Amino acid sequence: MIIKPLSNIRFQAKALLRHLFSSQTKYYMHSPFVYDLMAHVLEQKKESDDLKTILHFRKKRSLEKDKKIVFKGIGAIQTDSIKSLSEIEKKLSAPHQIAKRYYHCIQKYGYQNILEIGTCVGIGTMYLAKANPNGKVYTLEGNKDCYEYAKRYFEEVGLQNVHLIEGLFEHTLVNTLETMKSVDLVIIDGNHQYESTLAYFRQILPFIHEDSLIVLDDIHWSEGMNKAWLEIIAMKEVTLSLDFYRNGFVFFKKNRLEKENFKIWVSD
């Protein structure tokens, strides 16, 4: 999640209204795969011990108003800014309800090779790493201070399966993909701009397989992100896309009769 510049707010409000009127709940879903995903993964209410541990960790961070990080205008937000850990926990890290969905997807589909593009201070990464301690999570971050906090936090929470890589995505993404060889789950959660999002997506494509899932965050954050999303779901490799307004899931399953793009309303 990223902080919204005023210029994008009108676009987001219209996109949200469109989504409210055109999305469907699980009760009208004819695809068995998507129904199962909605009913048994995304709307899963259970809070496991892992999730409780992460929530507790988040609560501690949300009280830290005096510890601050300088953001030096990388990615979609070009101006420099200073944010407290408390603000980061609330505004930049994936909200618990969203990150919990990734956690349950990993458990349901047994994803092993996971890539997160945009670590920030590592809150979202915790859900990915805890979901499958036998899997490997690669996570990329360009802000030195965020990287240092994330490193410390992973030690504090005792995560053994995270590879944290510092540097701009433009320098680290391809090398990381080559190291991973193949990806099961990718979360694109940084540098939410039209060109970069399409470029990252195209770089990832040679490393996916039939059961991979790519998640794009903030797909209706700006006109550029909306355009990138529409171009991505039109690509021939994408056989199923799910637009949850806040983020979008794309699948590459080959056994589908035809490409389907759903707009979905999931209750938390």
Ligand X SMILES: C[S@@+](CC[C@H](N)C(=O)[O-])C[C@H]1O[C@@H](n2cnc3c(N)ncnc32)[C@H](O)[C@@H]1O
Binding residues for ligand X restricted to 208-247, rule: CB under 6 A: none
Is 143 one of the binding residues for ligand X (CB under 6 A)?
yes
Single out the residue of 42, 50, 114, 124 in contact with ligand X (rule: CB under 6 A): 124
Closest alpha carbon to 117 in 181, 169, 152, 69? 169
The strand ranges marked E within 26-175 are 68-72, 80-84, 113-117, 136-141, 162-166
Residue number, 37 or 114, with CB nearest to ligand X: 114
Closest alpha carbon to 19 in 201, 268, 266? 266
In angstroms, the CA 198 to CA 196 distance is 5
Single out the residue of 42, 118, 229, 244 in contact with ligand X (rule: CB under 6 A): 118
- Part of the chain binding ligand X (CB under 6 A), chosen from 53-61, 141-149, 206-214, 248-256: 141-149
What's the closest the beta carbon of residue 11 comes to ligand X, in angstroms?
18
Is 189 one of the binding residues for ligand X (CB under 6 A)?
yes
Closest alpha carbon to 244 in 256, 259, 233? 233
Tokens, residue 8: 């994008």
CA atoms within 13 A on the CB side of 99: 28
In angstroms, the CA 197 to CA 173 distance is 12
Residue number, 147 or 251, with CB nearest to ligand X: 147
Binding mask 149-188 for ligand X (x = CB under 6 A): -------------------xxx------------------
Binding site for ligand X (CB under 6 A): 1-2, 74-75, 92-94, 116, 118-120, 123-124, 141-143, 146, 168-170, 189-191
